[in-house]
């Protein structure tokens, strides 16, 4: 009977893995839905599947939704997924573990009200619904600890959706870019741990005006050319923005789903990986310990956004990786006999 139960458990684990493999779900509100539909994300992935004989898919869902209030910023995802307010009996507020059972890649974003960040009044409170940088950072750290518990799933978060210049002020805009930069440059590295299953789609970088002196518009607000009404204050990007950003988003979804199938078991308990980035020479030195055999293995470098940068096969347990890319955060993954170890490094 014990043998039968073990076989059944193994069979069920394969069924669950196959059920969620190569599938992504995009949790959003109106801004994300407009990019998904207006940017023809589904069609882009369908065309890719036809050309490459693959079977990737992305489903979109307005989340959180009824019976949850129409909110969508860090507090809500913390309250639902970490604070325990989720409910698997309602798809609109289902729990993170259920999403991980059904999908390989979980993508979530905040709608533009999340960019209306107020001034900090203290060190922050993870359970506070107030929109401040300190609270957002505490909530993101708690979410990251949750994501670490699901190493076989991939998670992508969108950076903030910028506000229309007539719907914000310079202080809020500055805090929105400050939080965005913290997410992109600090969040995944400040604890000196590896979080190889977490990726970032920089929507703010694509949709927000970056110039300090634009001909029109306002820095760190929705780009003037992406405003639906120059005289109003609606922060939803127009269709020109959706058509530009949609394919970029679809491509990153496929890139992450592809990378997720390359290795399924982490071997960090068996071997260790040491990395050191040298910004001046644009090189990364690596050293693997705990691996005696000199058989070839695969070494890959990804950007923090999940884009493949370099792939090489070597049998050397130490060496140098040369990159022709800008300084920033990179993910190095070593795959040995179908199992992997990965780590982030700053160049």
> Which CATH number is 167's domain given?
3.40.50.1110
Based on the fold, state whether residues 269 and 247 are members of the same structural domain. Answer: no
Average pLDDT over residues 321-336: 83
What is the pLDDT at residue 266? Answer: 57
Query: Of 223, 201, 152, nearest to 306 (Cα)?
Result: 201
Residues 165 and 282 in one domain: no
Confidence label for 330 from pLDDT (cuts 50, 70 and 90):
confident
Q: What is the pLDDT of residue 19?
A: 54
Q: How many C-beta neighbours within 10 Å does residue 14 have?
A: 10
- State the residue range of the domain holding 38: 2-260
- Written as six digits, the tokens of 236 are 């939803």
List, edge to edge, every strand of the sheet that includes 57-62: 57-62, 23-28, 105-108, 154-158, 198-201
**0.85 cut: is pTM over it?**
no
Q: How many domains does the chain have?
A: 2
Please write the tens of the pLDDT for every residue from 59-91: 999 999 999 999 999 999 999 999 999 999 999
Please determine, for residue 17, whether its predicted confidence score (pLDDT) is greater than 80.
no
User: What token pair was written down for 144?
Assistant: 């990251």
Same domain, yes or no: 171 and 35: yes
Residues 6+ apart with CB under 8 A from 278: 284, 285, 347
Same structural domain, 96 and 147: yes
Residues with Cβ within 8 Å of 139's Cβ and at least 6 positions away in sequence, in order, are 74, 75, 77, 78, 82, 126
Name the residue with tokens 């922060």.
235
Least confident range of 29-33, 34-38, 276-280: 276-280
**Mean pLDDT comparison of 14-23, 146-155, 170-179, 259-268, highest-scoring range:** 170-179
- Same structural domain for residues 204 and 295? no
Is the confidence at residue 263, as pLDDT, over 50?
no
């Amino acid at each position: 009977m014990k043998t039968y139960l073990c076989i059944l458990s193994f069979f069920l684990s394969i069924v669950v893995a196959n059920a969620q493999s190569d599938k992504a779900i995009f949790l959003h509100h109106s801004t994300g839905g407009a990019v998904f539909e207006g940017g023809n994300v589904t069609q882009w992935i369908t065309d890719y599947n036809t050309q490459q004989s693959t079977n990737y898919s992305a489903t979109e869902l307005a989340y959180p939704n009824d019976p949850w209030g129409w909110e969508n910023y860090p507090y809500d995802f913390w309250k639902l997924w970490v604070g325990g307010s989720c409910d698997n009996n309602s798809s609109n507020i289902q729990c993170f573990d259920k999403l991980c059972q059904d999908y390989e890649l979980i993508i979530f974003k905040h709608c533009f009200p999340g960019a209306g960040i107020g001034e900090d009044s203290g060190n922050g409170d993870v359970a506070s619904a107030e929109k401040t940088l300190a609270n957002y950072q505490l909530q993101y750290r708690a979410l990251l600890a949750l994501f670490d518990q699901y190493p076989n799933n991939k998670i992508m978060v969108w950076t903030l959706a910028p506000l229309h210049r007539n719907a914000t002020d310079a202080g809020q805009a500055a805090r929105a870019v400050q939080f965005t930069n913290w997410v992109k440059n600090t969040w995944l590295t400040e604890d000196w741990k590896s979080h190889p299953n977490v990726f970032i789609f920089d929507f703010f970088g694509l949709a927000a005006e970056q110039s300090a002196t634009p001909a029109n518009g306002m820095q760190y607000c929705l780009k003037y050319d992406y405003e639906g009404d120059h005289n109003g204050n609606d922060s939803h990007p127009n269709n020109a923005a959706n058509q530009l950003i949609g394919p970029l988003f679809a491509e990153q979804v496929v890139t992450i789903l592809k990378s997720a199938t390359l290795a399924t078991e982490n071997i960090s308990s068996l071997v260790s990986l040491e990395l050191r980035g040298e910004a001046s020479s644009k090189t990364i030195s690596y050293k693997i310990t705990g691996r005696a055999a000199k058989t070839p293995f695969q070494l890959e470098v990804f950007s923090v956004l999940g884009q493949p940068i370099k792939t090489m096969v070597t049998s050397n347990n130490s060496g140098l990786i040369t990159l022709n890319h800008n300084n920033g955060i990179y993910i190095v993954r070593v795959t040995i006999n179908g199992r992997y170890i990965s780590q982030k490094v700053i160049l």
